[in-house]
C-alpha cells in the first residue's frame, strides 16, 4: 500500500503519466471476457446442481457465509488499507448521487407501477440500484488496466466508497426493512439490526483502523490482512454460486417490463447520471473513466444474497442479475464513450 500511495502521489503532479490513449482502448473484448467469466462460474454452479452436489437448500447457508464472514472480511481489509484521497471521494460521491437517484425511482415504479409485494420490491430495488462494483469491479479493472496497478488501487477505493458503502448501509437496510422476517417489527428494531449487521460493523472498523493510522505492515498486521484477503477472495465465486443456486430458466412472459426497467436503470441511467455529476465536479479524465466503468457494471449478485438472507424474492433477483449480465456484454463498452 505504501507503494500504491507513492505512485498515486506521483499521479497528482504528473497528469501525463496516464495519457488518455491508454484508456481509449477497445473495451469490448476484455469486458466481454470479464462478464463471461462470471457467467462461467454460474454455469459451474448449475453443473454442481445437476450432479446433486449442491441444491437450492444450500442457498441460505452460502448467503449467510457471504454476509457474515466473507464479505465483512473483504470490506475491512480493503477499507483499513486504502489510500483516502479527496478526488476518489468525489468520484465515489458522483456514483452515490446516481445510486440514490435511481434507487428512489426504482422504489417508486416498483411499488406504484408494477405493484410488487415487499419481497419482490426488495429484489427489484436491489437489482436496479446496486451494480457488481464492490464484488466484480476490481476484477474488471485488472483486465482493462492490467499494466497500471495504481488505477486498480484507485478503483478499489472508489468502489468501496460508492457501491460498497451504500450496499452495506442502504442495501442491507432495504433487506431488513422489506424482509419477511423483519417487516412486522418496529423501525427502531430494524435500525438496530442494521447497525449490528456484520458488513456495517466491518465498514466502521475499517474506517476506524484507517483514520487512526493503525499499522498495516509488520508480522502480525500482514498475517491478519493476508488472511482476510484470502477469505475475501472467495467472494466472487460464492456470489456466483448463490446466483446459480437461485437460477431458474428465464420466463420473459410477465417479467419483460421489469427486466427492461432494470436494464435501463442499471446499465444506462446510472452511468449517465454519475458521469454527468463527475463532469460537473471537473474530475480528471481518468477518474471519470474509471467511475463510469464501475457504475456501468451489471446488477450485483449481492442482490440475490441479501434477498436470500432477509426473505426477499430470490428468483426475481437472480433473473434480473443474469439478464443485466447478458446485456452488459454490449452495454458496458458502449457506455465507455460517454466518458470521453
Query: Can you list the positions of beta strands (E) in the chain?
Result: none
The mean of the pLDDT values for the chain is 78
Q: What stretch of H or E contains 11?
A: helix 2-13
Cell numbers standing for residue 239: 456470489
Q: What pLDDT does 112 receive?
A: 92
Task: Give tens-digit pLDDT for 242-260.
Answer: 777 877 666 666 678 889 9
Instruction: Please determine, for residue 336, whether its predicted confidence score (pLDDT) is greater than 70.
Output: no
103 pLDDT exceeds 60?
Answer: yes
Q: Examine the pLDDT at 77 and tell me if it is beyond 50.
A: yes
pLDDT digits (tens, 9 = 90+) for 184-195: 566 677 677 777
Grade residue 156 by pLDDT with cuts at 50, 70 and 90: confident
Percentage of residues in the chain with pLDDT exceeding 90? 16
Burial 259-292 (b: 16+ CB within 10 A, else e): bebbbebbbbbbbbbbbebbeeeebbbbbbbbbb
Residue 116 zone, left/alpha/beta (φ > 0; ψ -120 to 50; rest): beta
Residue 22, pLDDT above cutoff 60: no
* Secondary structure class of 299 (helix, strand, coil): strand
| pLDDT mean over 157-162 | 79
pLDDT in tens, 264-311: 998 889 988 998 899 899 888 888 888 888 888 888 777 888 888 888
What residue spans define the domains of the chain? Answer: 26-339
Mean pLDDT of 85-114: 90
Sequence-ordered list of residues with C-beta below 8 angstroms from that of 92, at least 6 positions apart, any chain: 157, 158, 160, 161, 162, 165
pLDDT value of position 124? 93
Pick from 91, 78, 126, 86: which is nearest to 106 by CA?
126
Range from 12-21, 170-179, 240-249 that averages highest in pLDDT: 170-179
What average pLDDT does this structure show over 156-180?
A: 80
The answer to whether 296 and 271 have CB atoms below 8 angstroms apart is yes
DSSP string computed for 153-194: HHHHHHHHTTHHHHIIIIIHHHHHHH-TTTTTS-HHHHHHHH
Query: Which top CATH class is 26-339?
Result: mainly alpha
Q: What is the pLDDT of residue 26?
A: 53
pLDDT category, 29, cuts 50, 70, 90?
Answer: low
pLDDT digits (tens, 9 = 90+) for 114-128: 999 999 999 999 988
Most confident of the following: 1-5, 28-32, 188-192, 274-278: 274-278
Flag whether pLDDT at 64 surpasses 80.
Answer: yes
pLDDT range class, residue 212, cuts 50, 70, 90: very high
| Model pLDDT, residue 151 | 73
Query: Binning pLDDT at 50, 70 and 90, where does residue 15 land?
Result: very low
Find cell 456484520 and name the residue.
Answer: 198
Amino acid at each position: 500500500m505504501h507503494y500504491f500511495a507513492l505512485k498515486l502521489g506521483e499521479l497528482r503532479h504528473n497528469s501525463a503519466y496516464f495519457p488518455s490513449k491508454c484508456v481509449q482502448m477497445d473495451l469490448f473484448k476484455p469486458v466481454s471476457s470479464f462478464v463471461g467469466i462470471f457467467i462461467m462460474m454460474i454455469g459451474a454452479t448449475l453443473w454442481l446442481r445437476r450432479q446433486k452436489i449442491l441444491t437450492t437448500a444450500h442457498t441460505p447457508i452460502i448467503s449467510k457465509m457471504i454476509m457474515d464472514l466473507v464479505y465483512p472480511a473483504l470490506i475491512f481489509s480493503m477499507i483499513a488499507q486504502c489510500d483516502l484521497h479527496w478526488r476518489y471521494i468525489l468520484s465515489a460521491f458522483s456514483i452515490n448521487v446516481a445510486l440514490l437517484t435511481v434507487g428512489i425511482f426504482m422504489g417508486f415504479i416498483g411499488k406504484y407501477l408494477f405493484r410488487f409485494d415487499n419481497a419482490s420490491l426488495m429484489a427489484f430495488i436491489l437489482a436496479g440500484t446496486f451494480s457488481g462494483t464492490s464484488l466484480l469491479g476490481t476484477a474488471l479493472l485488472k483486465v482493462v488496466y492490467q499494466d497500471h496497478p495504481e488505477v486498480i488501487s484507485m478503483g478499489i477505493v472508489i468502489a468501496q466508497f460508492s457501491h460498497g458503502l451504500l450496499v452495506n448501509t442502504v442495501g442491507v437496510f432495504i433487506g431488513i426493512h422489506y424482509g419477511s422476517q423483519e417487516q412486522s417489527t418496529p423501525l427502531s428494531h430494524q435500525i438496530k439490526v442494521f447497525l449490528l449487521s456484520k458488513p456495517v460493523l466491518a465498514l466502521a472498523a475499517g474506517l476506524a483502523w484507517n483514520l487512526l493510522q493503525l499499522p498495516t505492515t509488520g508480522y502480525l498486521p500482514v498475517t491478519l490482512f493476508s488472511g482476510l484477503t484470502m477469505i475475501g477472495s472467495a467472494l466472487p465465486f460464492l456470489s456466483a454460486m448463490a446466483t446459480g443456486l437461485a437460477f431458474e430458466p428465464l420466463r420473459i412472459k410477465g417479467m419483460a417490463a421489469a427486466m427492461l426497467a432494470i436494464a435501463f436503470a442499471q446499465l444506462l441511467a446510472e452511468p449517465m447520471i454519475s458521469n454527468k455529476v463527475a463532469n460537473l465536479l471537473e474530475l480528471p479524465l481518468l477518474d471519470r473513466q474509471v467511475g463510469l466503468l464501475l457504475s456501468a457494471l451489471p446488477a450485483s449478485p449481492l442482490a440475490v444474497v441479501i434477498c436470500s438472507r432477509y426473505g426477499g424474492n430470490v428468483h426475481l433477483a437472480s433473473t434480473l442479475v443474469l439478464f443485466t449480465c447478458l446485456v452488459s456484454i454490449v452495454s458496458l463498452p458502449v457506455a465507455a464513450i460517454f466518458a470521453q
